[in-house]
Structure 1
Amino acid sequence: MIPTSDIVFTSLIADALALGPHWIYHQKELKKRFGHIMSYMAPATAYHTGKNAGDQTHYGDQTMLLLHSIAEFGRFDLEHYAAKWREFWENPQTISYRDGATKATLAHLHSGMPPESAASSSSELGGTVRTAPLFLLDWEDDEALFSAARSLTAFTHNDPPVVEAAEFFTRVILAVQRGAGISDALEETAALLHWEAIPTEWFAAARRSSASSASDGEALEGHGLTCHIPDAFTGVCHLLLRHPETPATALIENINAGGDSAARGMVLGMVYGAAFPVSALPASWLSDLNARDEINGLIDKIP
């Protein structure tokens, strides 16, 4: 049986892989400057100044904060996580990119809003990507986990499709963890009738592109490489449908496609981490992950 910890590791590996080329949108520029990226790189843009190859982006940093919170508190508690999150971002020594959702949520917290209503209106997939540590906990039932994923996401991103996407991918990960194939888990989750904010066309577009002759880069560029949920959700589903048995290939194709490869990658990593052991990835991806020992230490503290 694959350890649940591999969901965390594979997600954070995918984030670290994206650090170098993160938010470079022109695929020709990426290829000209770096060739075919297959390993960790220092950041090539100013967004992640101060980071080194093998570090996390700001998405991974927030996932690490959740891991710390769960290790300290013993369970998921939004108040506890929000306090650690706020302390991290208010620390002048913190080296991590403050995106629009972070700035808006901080401003709302400063004004006295409670964590459950302090979110930005950001429509970016980045709100959904921190959930991997939730899978390390024992839940009363699936609905409790779905509620936690929604609550965690809505802390910073109060956009209905983003919040709903957190539940969507949590359902996919659970199904895969319980033995479903990745493609089947996606199809079954997409077929559920209770989705209100996620248009059926998003998944249908991913299904079409995954079966097309377009390269992954062409397909993702066609869907859109931005952070926003319509682009990124569809891009994630495309890669999962096209590469259900080859996680390393999907993660490499993801980073070479450009754009917000970190957010896409973290969701990909959670799904693949539920299906394949981290040992299925190139060994250097784990050995050179700078947070590896810290992650192991925190996981060991969780009851």
Structure 2
Amino acid sequence: MDDDRAAGLVLGLACGDALGRPVEFETPARILAQYGEVTEMLADGTWGKPAGTVTGNTVLARRLARSLVERGEFDPADVAERFVAWYGTTPTDVGDTTAAALARIRDGEPWDAAGRRVRETSSTPTDGNGCLARAAPLAVAFASQEEQLVDASVESSRITHADPRCTAGCAVLTLTLSGLLSERSDPLSAALDRVDPPDALRESLGPVATGDLAIDDLDSVSGDGDGVVDTLRTALWYGLTAETAEEALVAVVNRGGDADTVGAVTGAIAGARFGADALPDRWLADLDDSDALRALARDLAALDVSGTPARSERPE
């Protein structure tokens, strides 16, 4: 595996997260009026944090990655425990589905039941995108082990997001990332064929894979990224079609909406595609813990992972 691409995936995720964080929940018009075009790491904005501050997207991705590195395998119970420890810090940016599932685990419910129970008992949609960005490091650890990558991606989603669109969406994302890391041709089409996702995902992502989706088509959907289908459609389109990683991230975060999460997923895709050296130095200089993230990517790439998740469920 190309170490620069592995580092690009991890650092790109964090860059997109931090770049989008100040304009989360904003509309394109409000972003333009307040900031002009966002091309730099901004301070304040949504959540009022310093420039380069990441959100739970990057924090949970790092926790999952540290579990992989320290245990030498994907252990969903350990990952869930690390997620619950983060939840115990009362983060401001935790989504409703994630919060509900982690609260259940904290209160004693098994990791492999909590997400399902949230889905069964919730009166609101549980197909949110909170499972996506954090799954990205799996693509580095399991880059050469497709079956284990699918299993781990599904299980990592099920900790909080058990909706089939979420479990399959995580698998499609990580398989696409793995293909980019290995410089395979048409990695999204291969991922869709391997996963055979629910109709909503296939119908949304198929035109991205075939190149039949234009920017006007993308703008005809909400683009706010709150759901896993919309997030993947937007992030994959920008991440796979942009001429540079910077172009992809600037374009996607200026759409507003769930800008940090869509930015993080887009950043992982663009980073895996172009490599860390293609990310702007000025972003990396402002980014929280960029050296530690680069080192974590090296550790992930060096892993010789073995075994499969404690439970294995193919995406429906």
TM-score (norm 1): 0.85
Matched ranges for 1:10-25 at <5 A: 10-24=12-26
Per-residue deviation, residues 137-196 of structure 1 (Å, max 9, x unmatched): 257831011111111111111111011011111121122222234xx2223434557223
Cα distance change on mapping 1:96 and 1:66 into 2, 3 Å = farther
Q: Find the counterpart in structure 2 of residue 178 from structure 1.
A: 182
Cα distance change on mapping 1:60 and 1:139 into 2, 3 Å = closer
Cα distance change on mapping 1:299 and 1:278 into 2, 3 Å = closer
Matched ranges for 1:74-223 at <5 A: 74-91=72-89, 95-119=91-115, 120-121=118-119, 122-137=126-141, 141-181=145-185, 184-191=186-193, 194-204=196-206, 206=208, 212=214, 214=216, 219-220=218-219, 222-223=221-222
Percent pairwise identity = 23
Higher mean Cα deviation, 133-142 or 201-210? 201-210
Cα distance change on mapping 1:212 and 1:131 into 2, 3 Å = closer
Cα distance change on mapping 1:114 and 1:255 into 2, 3 Å = same
How far apart in 2 are the matches of 1:191 and 1:20? 36
Deviation at 1:34, TM superposition (A): 0.7
Q: Find the counterpart in structure 2 of residue 37 from structure 1.
A: 38
Matched ranges for 1:240-259 at <5 A: 240-243=239-242, 245-259=243-257
Q: Amino acid of the residue matched to residue 67 of structure 1?
A: A
1:128/1:166 contact within 8 Å kept: yes
Provide the aligned C-alpha RMSD in A: 2.6
How far apart in 1 are the matches of 2:203 and 2:288? 39
TM-score (norm 2): 0.82
Per-residue deviation, residues 195-241 of structure 1 (Å, max 9, x unmatched): 23544321245579975463xxx834634314112322221233235
How far apart in 2 are the matches of 1:111 and 1:283? 43
Per-residue deviation, residues 256-290 of structure 1 (Å, max 9, x unmatched): 01111222222222222222121112111112111
Q: Secondary structure at the match of 1:65?
A: helix
2:169/2:229 contact within 8 Å kept: no
Q: Secondary structure at the match of 2:134?
A: coil
Per-residue deviation, residues 69-95 of structure 1 (Å, max 9, x unmatched): 23332332111111121122113xx55
1:223/1:234 contact within 8 Å kept: no
How far apart in 2 are the matches of 1:139 and 1:252? 28
Q: Secondary structure at the match of 2:246?
A: helix
How far apart in 2 are the matches of 1:23 and 1:12? 18
How far apart in 1 are the matches of 2:144 and 2:233? 31
- In the alignment, structure 2 segments of 5+ residues that lack a partner are 120-125, 304-316
Higher mean Cα deviation, 26-35 or 109-118? 109-118
Q: Amino acid of the residue matched to residue 264 of structure 1?
A: V
How far apart in 1 are the matches of 2:229 and 2:160? 18
- Higher relative contact order (CA closer than 8 Å, sequence separation 6+): 2
Q: Secondary structure at the match of 1:19?
A: helix
